[in-house]
Amino acid sequence: MGFATDCIHAGQEPDPSTGAIVTPIFQTSTYVQEGIGKHKGYEYARTQNPTRRALEKNIAALEGGVDAYCYASGMAATQAVLTLVKTGERVVVSDNVYGGTHRFFTKVLARYGVEFAFLDASDASDLDGKAGDFSLLWIETPTNPLMKICDIAALAEVARRRRALLVVDNTFMSPFFQRPLSLGADVVVHSTTKFLNGHSDSVGGVAVVRDPAHAQWLQYVQNAAGAILSPFDSWLVLRGTKTLALRMPRHEENGRRVAHFLRGHPKVRKVHWPGFADHPGHEVHKRQATGFGALISFDLGDRGAADRLLRAVRLCSLGESLGGIETLISHPATMTHAGYTQGERDALGIGDGLVRISVGCEDAEDLLADLGKALEAVQVQSTTNR
């Protein structure tokens, strides 16, 4: 089946008891059994829930995995995947990941004797030389918020040579644009909160795998640790994935318009978007993905300028998330990446003047007008473009 057909149908049969075309919300904590060990495959709702299972099958099909497991948030999915690593093992991480991922790895898991090394993963052979031994490589591509590109196939090879796993957080691209399992990754993670749900009304996460042994383990952890996605959230995300193939091209088209507009604006110093032909990762991204997405970051020079823009926008909403149908704009240094120290942010180039925008599906002209008007409120010290 084609991708759009899978979005609408994979994992979803009309409800056998009523014929309802939409998978019902099975809002139950338990299931009545006929006798000892005699049941319909459902015993307790932490362990099995038909709404959640439909979503898991749906996302597994979209990412081309053998199976998928949904968790209470993107971070809960990350936590489940990191149980594939044991005390004493080493994890290598691409160096500007979502701040919450960095926080969880460095402040929580490091307490359990797992070692984390954050390295620039935009050059796979450089990383290969510097990384030493590791059992798991965790990347985002494009990275958050600097939109660096990591070569998934080359990094899968780097991991494979060490018998290590490659995990890709595919939240920014969604499977509509990028399918890391087909490029050699072992696990794909999403914050379903973002493009998969797409409507800014649910928090959730998913891990998709291609090895049945990993599927078995992640299902075991889902039940054992219990950070499950609720039936209602599962239903909301299923409603969201149905329109993924319709929403993503619109996000992409609007993203392209906004990126070029910002790049041409005299008050914007630098725009990070892999769609520019002179972006260092442009060719690699074109090889491994079918679109550039809707995430753009841009530098206004200092915090005062960023603050003025963020206060002046009217249609773009200042808020901490991305991937919704409505345009969200944020300040990484104080929001998504506040978990990094100032020193770490400075070293990575996440300056106080950096603004990130997740371009929604509104009319592009309205977005450009809003950003243009808000930029009028910005006074910048130097007006070097690019």
Ligand X SMILES: Cc1ncc(COP(=O)(O)O)c(C=O)c1O
Pick between residue 97 and residue 380 the one whose CB is nearest to ligand X: 97
Which residue, chain included where needed, has tokens 């041409």? 264
Pick between residue 137 and residue 203 the one whose CB is nearest to ligand X: 203
Residues in a beta bridge with 363: none
Q: How far apart are the first and last CA of the chain?
A: 43
| Cα 214 from Cα 210, distance rounded (Å) | 8
In the complex, minimum distance from the CB of residue 335 to ligand X, in angstroms, rounded to a whole number: 9
Pick between residue 43 and residue 201 the one whose CB is nearest to ligand X: 201
What are 114's two structure tokens?
Answer: 């797992």
Pick between residue 73 and residue 200 the one whose CB is nearest to ligand X: 73
In the complex, minimum distance from the CB of residue 293 to ligand X, in angstroms, rounded to a whole number: 12
Long-range contacts of 255-260 (CB under 8 A, 24+ apart): 255/292, 255/293, 255/294, 255/295, 255/296, 255/359, 256/292, 257/364, 257/367, 257/368, 258/296, 258/357, 258/359, 258/364, 258/367, 258/368, 258/371, 259/292, 259/296
Pairing of strands 136-140, 165-169: parallel
Catalytic-role residue among 46, 57, 162, 286: 46
Closest residue to ligand X using C-beta atoms: 74
In the complex, minimum distance from the CB of residue 251 to ligand X, in angstroms, rounded to a whole number: 15
Catalytic-role residue among 194, 242, 269, 345: 194
Instruction: Please say if 98 is a catalytic residue.
Output: yes
What are 290's two structure tokens?
Answer: 């079918």
In the complex, minimum distance from the CB of residue 282 to ligand X, in angstroms, rounded to a whole number: 21
226 phi and psi angles, rounded to 5 deg: 85, 10
Per CB under 6 A, residues contacting ligand X are 73-75, 98, 100-101, 140, 144, 169, 171-172, 191, 193, 203, 205
Pick between residue 192 and residue 219 the one whose CB is nearest to ligand X: 192
In the complex, minimum distance from the CB of residue 271 to ligand X, in angstroms, rounded to a whole number: 19
| Cα 314 from Cα 166, distance rounded (Å) | 41
Q: Is 167 helix (H, G, I), strand (E, B) or coil?
A: strand
| Cα 217 from Cα 153, distance rounded (Å) | 25
Pick between residue 109 and residue 378 the one whose CB is nearest to ligand X: 109
Instruction: Please say if 194 is a catalytic residue.
Output: yes
Catalytic-role residue among 67, 169, 186, 352: 169
In the complex, minimum distance from the CB of residue 151 to ligand X, in angstroms, rounded to a whole number: 18
| Residues known to be catalytic | 46, 98, 169, 194
